[in-house]
Amino acid sequence: MSKVIKQAIATLREDPAVDAAYNNQHDIVRMAKLLRTWRTGANKTQADLAAAMGTSQSTISRLESFDNAHMPQIETVREWAHKCGRNLYIGGEPDGVPVEPEKMLIL
């Protein structure tokens, strides 16, 4: 990313509403990458996963896209994890404090 673009983004993010939207979209992109990594790590195509989850390939594609407008629901993420041979772990601690495994919920 060029220096000019980075400066423009920094200037726009000075507006709290823009900063919140930027952070939200960043989280959605991270989730999309994670879901795609789980699926490909399980050697499944989008069509394979869609059939296993009882949904359409286009839904899987949308959830893996970086321009998705919404974070998927927790139940969708849990089912996705299970269909890819994974568990979903949820834990929460203040920023910077590692989550202790015994304090995590396994879904």
Q: What is the CATH number of the domain that holds 67?
A: 1.10.260.40
Element (H, E) at 29: helix 16-41
Please say if the pLDDT value at position 38 is more than 90.
yes
Instruction: Decide if 67 contacts 99 (C-beta within 8 A).
Output: no
Q: Which domain holds residue 16?
A: 3-106
pLDDT in tens, 42-61: 999 999 999 999 999 999 99
CA neighbor of 46 nearest in space, from 64, 34, 31: 64
pLDDT average, residue stretch 72-90: 96
Instruction: Decide if 81 contacts 38 (C-beta within 8 A).
Output: yes
Check residue 10 and give its pLDDT: 83
Instruction: Decide if 76 contacts 64 (C-beta within 8 A).
Output: no
- Structurally, the chain folds into a number of domains equal to 1
